Homo-oligomer: A and B are copies of this chain.
Amino acid sequence: MYGAGDVRVENRPDPKIARPTDAVVRTLAACVCGSDLWPYASMPVIDTGRPMGHEFLGVVEETGADVTGLKAGDLVVAPFTYSDNTCDYCAKGLHFSCRDGGRYGFDGVDGGQGEAVRVPHADGTLVKLPVAADSALLPSLLALSDVMATGHHGAVTAGVGTGDTVLVLGDGAVGLCAVIAAERLGAERIVLAGRHEARTGLGREFGATDVVAERGEEGIARIRELTGGVDKVIEAVGTRQALDTALGAVLDGGTISRLGVPQYEQGPIGPAQFLRNLTLTGGACPARAYIPELLADVLDGTITPGRVFDRAFPLDQTPDAYRAMADRQVLKALIRP
């Protein structure tokens, strides 16, 4: 990406092992993330371009001397950040904060939207997939790299459990995966707030029991009318309006878990929220921590998050994939190198 709206497919040097803990992964499937649309909308022009993409799965091509858990030919999925899986934060399941971790596309590490990626801390990062490279499960396995893990993070941090009523704000891929996650953790009633009918329709198939298309005060009124207020909110948008809707719909003592990166710096955490005993939680998902558990459910067909991919693009049409997602013609674009 060279700036807002400017995505180019170019030849880059082939990735090579740089450190003994690296692996090179030949990409089989990648995708465009909702979070890629923020720079696509607003990134200042840069001369050098920035490698894009942080969700991919593929085949290990080469491993560094210290990599013991992987070998060439293994099919693997990459969580959306790399991590050593040994530091104190990783030990707590907080891989996003890994002391020696980082993000694809930065610090000389390739982006996932390409033919191959050098993955640092390969042993700590990559998760082996016990399927063939032509498995029909690949889209759902790819979803584990970010959106399904992130939806799950929202449900876990919101404390969703059996019998709960949960509000999911946002009908993007993360919101829809949060519906899957809430249903999987036992929620009885799942209200999905979104206005794109194809997406909310998929949300219903994933387990949403109610859909609210209204926004703002009207949306809050509708949610309260349906539920009497909710104990748990998964906020998968990131705008102040979404936070305000969450605050209006949640019951006293309730929890709001945020998954969308906030598009604001300050927010209402004054006496009004304090007196209501509200909890604000969530954050950047430690995908690596959740993949093993979710993988089992993908393999046995319990969850099918790959259904969020509603269109596939060959690698050289990646700019079209961005455009289609930015225009909301495509929910989530799969990229096949």
Contact = CB atoms under 8 A, between A and B. Distances in A.
Interface in A2-41: none
Interface in A279-293: 279-284, 286
Interface string A73-90: 000000000000000010
Copies of this chain in its oligomeric complex: 2
A274 B261 contact: yes
A269 B267 contact: yes
Interface string A225-252: 0000000000000000000000000011
A164 to B, nearest CB: 12
Contact of A266 (B94, B251, B266, B284): B266
A265 interface: yes
Given A89-B252, A94-B253, A252-B89, A278 B283 contact: yes
A275 interface: yes
Contact of A269 (B96, B266, B286): B266
A199 interface: no
B280 A271 contact: no
**Range class of the A interface residue count:** 20 to 34
A276 interface: yes
A332 interface: no
A270 B283 CA distance: 10
Nearest to A286: B277
A157 to B, nearest CB: 8
A262 interface: yes
Contacts of A268: 265-266
A255 B6 CA distance: 40
A97 B270 contact: no
A25 B268 CA distance: 39
Nearest to A277: B283
Interface of A: 89, 92, 94, 96-97, 157, 251-253, 258, 261-262, 264-271, 273-284, 286
18 contacts: A89-B253, A94-B253, A94-B277, A97-B253, A157-B277, A261-B274, A261-B275, A262-B269, A264-B269, A265-B271, A267-B269, A274-B283, A275-B284, A277-B282, A277-B283, A277-B286, A278-B283, A280-B280
